[in-house]
Amino acid sequence: MSQYFFERESRTSHSEQWTIENNEYSLGRIDIHFTSGKTHATLSVHSSMDDNTIEELIGEIDERLVLSADPEREDFIVTVWKGEEFGVFAEDSNEENEEND
């Protein structure tokens, strides 16, 4: 059984955005963009993830998210960013906080 859980955040006709988690933590996010023949992705993961774990995660993303959406793709190109979450910002955040006070 997989150790990764994917939750879709958004979807358009040519792209998807997913949150990546395991049983304990949020591990990162991936933005996937489907073009004719190639699939491009930007993977942002926590700085604590090692290279082998990232490669395993990319394989799982390819198998579970990319090939299920585009089984005919010719190539899967992934740019990986490592760091830590700084925050999530949205225009609605202040309004929601004011309503809850």
Q: Which domains, from first to last, does the chain contain? A: 5-100 (3.40.630)
Of 9, 7, 17, the C-alpha closest to 42 is 17
Q: pTM to 2 decimals? A: 0.81
* pLDDT score for 95: 52
β 26-34/38-46 pair status: antiparallel
Count of CB atoms situated within 10 Å of the CB of 50? 9
pLDDT tens, per residue, the chain with 101 residues? 578 999 999 999 999 999 999 888 889 999 999 988 899 999 999 999 999 999 999 999 999 999 887 777 889 999 999 998 888 888 886 555 555 55
